Amino acid sequence: GIKNVVLDAHPHDLAVVVRYQVESSDPDHKLKSHQKIINLKELTENVDIEWLASIVLEKCSLIPEGNRKDLEHILYYLQRTVNSRAHSASSITERSVSSPASMNASMTEVESYIELLYEDITAKNRGSLCILELAKNPANLLLLSENEILVSALSRVLRDEWRKNLELAKNIISVFHLFSSFSQTQHIVIEQKMGAFCMNAIELELDRGRDWVNQMKTAHEETRKKCEIALRREHAMLEVSVSLLLNLADDLSVEMKMLRKGLLTLMSKCLYHATQPNHSYTLLPPVLTFLLKLSTMIENHPLLEKEGIAQKVAELFPMGDSSTRRTALSLLFNLSFHPSIRSSLLSTALIQHTAQLCKKDEKALNVLYQLTLSDHSRSLLPFTHAIEHLVSDTLDGHASAVTKAILLNASLDKRSTQIMAASKGITIHALIKLAVDHSDLLAAKIVRNMASHEDTIDSFLVKWVPSLMRIVMEDGLSEEEARAARAIELIAVCTQCRGVDWLRLNEEMGICEWMQSTLTTAKAPEHEPFQLQQVILASRLASTLEGAKSVVRLLNHFLSLLNSLQEDDELVVQSLFFFVCLLKHPQVGEMMVEGEGTALPSYILDLMHDNNPKVVEEADEAARMISSLSPEWNKRFMTEKFRYYNAQWLEMVEKEGGDGEEEELTFDERYVYYDDNYIDYDDESSSQLF
């Protein structure tokens, strides 16, 4: 049977071309393509098109009745071609169509404008401009879209003439672009396959534009000017073509189809083309807008990364046009969530440009925040004026959450912290006041990060510690999430501050009694971060002998906490460090091993072979100190290490001994094999093994 019948006008003759496929009789039933030409030599401008279409359908059975409309459009086009040949140039003037300079198009003259599309190139331009002028009025769009002859003529002239005249191509594509801007008329653009046409036209024009650019490098002045004019016209045509594709991409299925046909590569080429010297920048905004739309889908990020879009856009800065700049920043912000793309931006000067813009552009702030997630970018911030601007906004009370978040990231860098603290503590006091008086959690987090750097803000913080500890003791276990979260940050600020007299504070404020109370009552999972900070606080108290004597009474509470939260590696490490701080004081250490803390060595023994290296390191240090205090535990620790490092050998010995075929092996408990050395327990130096 006959399939896939397609009608077209002959490019040179007055004839209709019928293309169709016929299923072959081969076993695989392949489709073979055929073509038939129907000559219309007697076609004149006076022939009735509907009557002629009926005759053609009657004579040519290949054309289905369903293709009648297409056939009539083609016949009308051919008839207009005859009409244009028969009229002289003077007849064009007789039509009362205004020149573009004084254009006043009217819907009543649409038929005249259609006829102009079949005249010479000057008339085609005039006709297309008149139609474009009408289409710019949304009230006319629906009527124009319902004029099938008009739509068909525009589509056919565009396909025939666009390579010859960019101005004409721009005018007609602009009409279809206006059709694509409204859902009621967008179907016209899809039916005429303008999307596929524009993608193909953009590809070809980019190649031609590249040739013009190369030609300009060696051409004479006159030729160079001609190329510049051609490039400007080409950019105008490309701009409206990309805008049309952007409108069509509102339909996700259409967008996916475009992507499969290489849309991203095409936009990448457009981006490069739009930013070359001597080029008009009119193409850049729609290209960036399209890329921004594509960047909202995380599935597109790998393709965008492959094309290097982020780096290309970053290299466009600085930008003069604020609207284009905002689009570019929004695009970079979307892409910066992809870790590898964000890393690639570090090789550009983007952080310097966004730092300059952060005072006046919120989108630049968003991008700057994303960039400061990287250690490398944070290290570059001190060499800009961004920190001063952000701190100034914070002190003035105008800082947004993003501003504070950038300062939070920046405070992880010591040099940035030094800049923030350079105002004789004014910034520190302002941030603490925000945290205390306004319950500003971000401000508290910033101070916490700043306090982590040695010799930066300690001198400014010391006087605040008593006030902060009062808030901590009051709000630590608060049921209000905001107050409890702030207490965690403030206790961390206090424990990181060097130079605090914790022994005096303990006596004045009863910190140990408060910890005993909270460690007993805090059982909920949400209290775990606060309990971790309490362990760190206990380590600070244990730094002096008197403080250690006060806090050692809570040892069983901390052991119970360790037992219940042993899955939390950070809490385990900090707990072990706390035990080490206590054991450093011999008087307290003896109490722990022989008195109240007899359970401690057993915990240490269990943790010596943990999977976390930091846990093992702290456990070994604690075991070494316990061994120096107790010969009995020294022996047990060493035996355990021997069994651990020689487990495979001991298992083999046990199996062989169990079979009764070998002599019973005895183990001299005076010696163990550890770290390639035999160690004598009776040796006086045995307590210094760890």
Q: What is the pLDDT of residues 660-685, one digit of tens each?
A: 444 443 334 433 444 444 444 444 43
DSSP at 478? -
Quickly state the pLDDT bin for 103 (edges 50, 70, 90).
Answer: low
Is residue 490 pLDDT above 60, yes or no? yes
Quickly state the pLDDT bin for 1 (edges 50, 70, 90).
Answer: low
Query: Does residue 156 contact residue 9 with C-beta atoms inside 8 Å?
Result: yes
Q: What gap in Å lies between CA 146 and CA 110, rounded to an integer?
A: 12
Residues with Cβ within 8 Å of 640's Cβ and at least 6 positions away in sequence, in order, are 605, 608
pTM for this predicted structure: 0.74
The encoded tokens of residue 377 equal 């970018």
Chain-centroid distance of CA 365 in Å reads 15
Looking at beta carbons, which pairs linking 258-265 to residues 24 or more positions away fall under 8 Å?
258/195, 258/199, 259/294, 259/300, 259/303, 261/196, 261/199, 262/199, 263/199, 263/294, 264/294, 264/300, 264/303, 264/304, 264/307, 264/309, 265/307
Q: CB-based burial of residue 299 (10 Å sphere; 0-12 exposed, 13-18 middle, 19+ buried)?
A: exposed
Position with higher pLDDT, 342 vs 523: 342
- Max CA-CA distance within the chain? 126
- Give the pLDDT confidence of 131-176 residue by residue, as tens digits: 999 999 888 999 999 999 999 999 999 998 888 889 999 999 999 9
- Give the pLDDT confidence of 217-230 residue by residue, as tens digits: 887 878 888 888 88
642-667 average pLDDT score: 57
Strand partners, 38: 16
HSE toward the beta carbon, residue 511, CA cutoff 13 A: 30
DSSP at 5? E
**Dihedral angle over CA of 195, 201, 206, 207, nearest 10:** 140
The encoded tokens of residue 157 equal 């002239």
Q: CB-based burial of residue 75 (10 Å sphere; 0-12 exposed, 13-18 middle, 19+ buried)?
A: buried
Q: Render 651-671 in DSSP notation, one character per residue.
A: HHHHHHHHHTSSPPP---TTE
Mean pLDDT, rounded, of the chain:
84
Q: What gap in Å lies between CA 573 and CA 554, rounded to an integer?
A: 18
498-522 core/surface letters (b: 16 or more CB in 10 A; e: else): eebebbebbeeeebbebbeebbeeb
Identity at 448, one-letter amino acid code: R
Quickly state the pLDDT bin for 429 (edges 50, 70, 90).
Answer: very high
The encoded tokens of residue 671 equal 């010696």
Q: CB-based burial of residue 346 (10 Å sphere; 0-12 exposed, 13-18 middle, 19+ buried)?
A: middle
Q: What gap in Å lies between CA 653 and CA 647, rounded to an integer?
A: 10
Quickly state the pLDDT bin for 50 (edges 50, 70, 90).
Answer: confident
Quickly state the pLDDT bin for 651 (edges 50, 70, 90).
Answer: low
Q: What gap in Å lies between CA 453 and CA 445, rounded to an integer?
A: 14
Is residue 323 pLDDT above 60, yes or no? yes
430-434 average pLDDT score: 92
Give the model's pLDDT for residue 277.
67
Parallel, antiparallel, or unpaired for β 15-23 and 671-674? unpaired
Residue 42 CB neighbour total at 10 angstroms: 8
Percent of the chain with pLDDT strictly greater than 70: 87
Q: What gap in Å lies between CA 212 and CA 230, rounded to an integer?
A: 8
Q: CB-based burial of residue 207 (10 Å sphere; 0-12 exposed, 13-18 middle, 19+ buried)?
A: exposed
The H-or-E segment that residue 31 falls in is: strand 31-39
Q: What gap in Å lies between CA 326 and CA 331, rounded to an integer?
A: 9
Is residue 654 pLDDT above 70, yes or no? no
Identity at 435, one-letter amino acid code: A
Looking at beta carbons, which pairs linking 123-129 to residues 24 or more positions away fall under 8 Å?
123/92, 124/157, 124/161, 124/165, 124/168, 125/100, 125/165, 125/167, 125/168, 125/171, 126/97, 126/99, 126/100, 127/97, 128/154, 128/157, 128/168, 128/171, 128/172, 128/175, 129/100, 129/103, 129/171
Q: What gap in Å lies between CA 341 and CA 390, rounded to an integer?
A: 26
CA nearest 206: which of 242, 173, 182?
242
CA nearest 518: which of 498, 546, 491?
491
Quickly state the pLDDT bin for 280 (edges 50, 70, 90).
Answer: low
CA nearest 293: which of 337, 241, 331?
331
Domain ranges for the chain:
1-88
CA nearest 249: which of 304, 285, 289?
289
Q: CB-based burial of residue 92 (10 Å sphere; 0-12 exposed, 13-18 middle, 19+ buried)?
A: middle
Q: What gap in Å lies between CA 173 and CA 154, rounded to an integer?
A: 9
The encoded tokens of residue 253 equal 């299925």
Quickly state the pLDDT bin for 11 (edges 50, 70, 90).
Answer: low
CA nearest 559: which of 474, 622, 629, 502?
622
Q: What gap in Å lies between CA 359 and CA 390, rounded to an integer?
A: 8
End-to-end CA distance of the chain: 92
Parallel, antiparallel, or unpaired for β 2-9 and 15-23? antiparallel
Helix orientation angle between 386-396 and 350-357, rounded to the nearest 10 degrees: 30
Task: Evaluate the omega torsion of the peptide bond into residue 318 and state whether it is cis, within 30 degrees of 0.
Answer: yes
Position with higher pLDDT, 653 vs 109: 109
Is residue 243 pLDDT above 90, yes or no? yes
Position with higher pLDDT, 445 vs 19: 445
248-277 core/surface letters (b: 16 or more CB in 10 A; e: else): bbeeeebbeebbeeebbebbbbbbebbbee
Give the model's pLDDT for residue 7.
83
